[in-house]
Amino acid sequence: MIGILLGFGIKIPFFPLHTWLPDAHVEASTPVSVLLAGVLLKLGTYGLLRYGVGLLPDAWVYLSPWLAAWAAVSALYGTSCAIFQQDMKKVVAYASIAHMAFILLAAAASTQLSMIAAVCQW
């Protein structure tokens, strides 16, 4: 489960595994940046929920409090960084970090309603 979290945590991205995302948004053209924020980050979330929850549900429930804390830190970090950015593409990158953290926070609650909310939100 730890390997799945680290692998998909880089793709999603969560703090501190997010370092590639702001640079990728700035360097990419605008259509590619939109595709990155709109589709590719969500694929990491799909993989995390599909393989993390689907294959290892007991490990997911065991790690849920830690995942919730990780999501809260990522959401606060992404939001705080987005507020102080001058480049609009960096704002989108850091806002995406916060958005994906909220999805992890919902999934970490591990209830039927929170899983539905996480799937609908991504």
Q: How far apart are CA 70 and CA 99, in angstroms?
A: 13
Structural tokens at position 92 = 């989108």
Q: What is the structure's pLDDT at 63? A: 92
Domain count, the chain: 1
Where in the sequence is the domain holding 67, given as residue range(s)? Answer: 2-121
Instruction: Give the predicted TM-score (pTM) of the model.
Output: 0.86
pLDDT in tens, the chain (122 residues): 889 988 888 888 888 888 888 888 888 888 888 888 888 888 888 888 899 888 999 999 999 999 999 999 999 999 999 999 998 888 988 998 899 999 999 999 989 999 999 888 87
